[in-house]
Structure 1
């Protein structure tokens, strides 16, 4: 793990209290805690990458024209995994991209303008970027719950 990320995790762990338990079932074994911290990005989410500044990069595979918008799991070969999201929106005039960002922002509990589409504007394979500030307050537990059902 990169030193900056490790320092961030150490800070979050040291600032815990009984009111704000830490850990998540997805990465509990790694951190050694039995509680949930919705604000720590899980190590067990292969489609998510944190850079040395704490920014989060999420690889997504979008399937438009679904009956409802929801995550259906992880898709792809090891090392090239993406979060598979079925979107109700149609891929016309960027409506699917807007719906994707709105859905993900709602799922993570952050403002839609905190998420930017960095790659894949007209493709089903996309890369979304969350700044370190947005990634630090995002409710990653809700996204994990959406994936695991």
Structure 2
């Protein structure tokens, strides 16, 4: 696992783009922290019970992230990687506030 300062998200004008590695067909829905790939890119690890067909796993990821961040589900959407484990998820809202919330939620104390 890597620290909360790693670049597992990118601030945009009115949102944050979150980099996620999704594991479908898991035993439970969960956010498992932040890790890095072999090439140094960081991503948030997430697991969902939904199967990866007909967008079910993507919808479950959106719902999980919205609940985890305390946001309305309409503020979270998979922007790219719909058929891949590595995804980019757009989270609409104030980028500064979202960055602080993400850092707090992935800190080792949580």
1:143 alignment counterpart: 105
TM-score normalised by L of structure 2: 0.78
Cα distance change on mapping 1:63 and 1:115 into 2, 3 Å: same
1:29 alignment counterpart: none
Q: Which runs of 5+ in 2 are unaligned?
A: none
After superposition, residues 72-83 of structure 1 pair within 5 angstroms as: 72-75=32-35, 76-77=37-38, 79-83=40-44
1:100 maps to which of 61, 64, 81 = 61
TM-score normalised by L of structure 1: 0.60
1:123 alignment counterpart: 84
**Aligned residue pair count:** 106
Give 1 or 2: higher helix fraction: 1
| Greater RCO (Cα-Cα under 8 Å, separation 6 or more) | 2
2:16 maps to which of 56, 67, 70 = 56
Residue 47 of structure 1 pairs with residue 8 of structure 2: yes
Give 1 or 2: higher strand fraction: 2
Q: Which runs of 5+ in 1 are unaligned?
A: 1-25, 27-41
Shift in Å, 1:107: 0.3
Show structure 1 runs of 4+ deviating over 3 A: 132-139
